[in-house]
Amino acid sequence: MVGWYYSITAVWGPRPETPAQVADQWLRGMDAISQLGPRFARWKVKDTANQQFLSLRAARAQMARIVEGAVLKDDWGKPAPDEGYRVQAFTTQGGDDLEPDDFDFLSKLGSEWKNYVWLNMGFIGRPGDLSAIRYPEMKALISVIAANWKAPWVNAGISCADITPLDVPSNDLFFASPNGWERRPYGRPWVSYLSAERTVGLRIPSVLTSERTPDGGLLLSAVTEQFDPENTDQLALSSLLSEIMAERGGNPGL
C-alpha cells in the first residue's frame, strides 16, 4: 500500500532581514495559522541555541533571540546571516513523536539568496493522515502563507511517503516518460497560489476552479473535494495544475 503526505511549499528570492524582522513576521504568520482552529494551534518552537522546544506562548517574548540562534553556518562552521535563519516548529499532541495528523513547519528566512516556508503533514517514511485536512482548511493555509510571507507562489499537494519512490509507478517525485524517469517538481498539486504578476496572460483551463485573492493573486484548485492521489480523474486535473505551476512558479527546489 502506498503511503502519502501533505506538503505546502513557498519559495522566493533574496529578502535579507534582521532576526527581529524575521521573528515579527514569523509570529504573525503562526498566529494567523493558529486561528484556523485548535488543531493548528498546538505549536512547539525549536530553540536551536539551547537545544530545546518551547510552546509558542513561551517562545513569543524571546523569538528574536531564537531566530538569531538559528542562523545558518558557512562551510567553516561560522555564522552566515546572509544565508538566512532556519526557524522550525511542529505541532504535538503531547508525546515526543509526531502523529500522522501533526504538522512540521520548516522555514529559511532573511536570506540574501533563497527563502522558503515548508509545511508538512507526514514525510518520506512517515505517511500523514490524508483525511485530516479538508479543502477549506487547505485553501486557508495557502492564503495565510501567501499573504504573510508575500510569496510569489504557494503550492499544496500530496507527495509519496514511501522511502523507495521509484517502486511506485507514476509517483510524485518521478514519472515515466519516453525519456525514462523524469522529476515531477510540484508533486500532485491540490491547491496552488500565484501572485498577480505571475498570472499575467495566464489562460486558466475551465476544468480548474479559480478565484482571486485580496492582493490580486490567484488561487487555483484541481478539485474542491477531498483529494485522492490515486484517483485517475482527479490526477488528470492535478496534472493540469502542475503544468501551470511549472510554467509560472519556476524551480521549487529548496
Residue 100 has a pLDDT of: 80
Q: 220 lies in a domain?
A: yes
At 109-159, the pLDDT tens digits run: 999 999 999 999 887 778 888 888 899 999 999 999 999 999 999 999 888
Q: 218 lies in a domain?
A: yes
Structural domains counted in the chain: 1
pTM of the entire structure? Answer: 0.89
81-85 mean pLDDT: 97
67 phi/psi in degrees, rounded to 5: -65, -45
At 192-249, the pLDDT tens digits run: 999 999 999 999 999 999 999 999 999 999 999 999 988 999 999 999 999 999 899 8
Q: 117 lies in a domain?
A: no
Residue 187 has a pLDDT of: 75
Residue 251 has a pLDDT of: 64
pLDDT at 1 over 90: no
Q: 187 lies in a domain?
A: yes
Q: 172 lies in a domain?
A: yes
At 46-56, the pLDDT tens digits run: 999 999 999 99
C-alpha grid cell, residue 89: 516548529
Q: 98 lies in a domain?
A: no
Q: 215 lies in a domain?
A: yes
Beta strands in the chain (DSSP E): 4-12, 43-47, 52-55, 85-91, 104-109, 115-121, 153-160, 174-177, 180-183, 188-194, 209-212, 218-221
Residue 193, domain extent: 139-254
Q: 202 lies in a domain?
A: yes
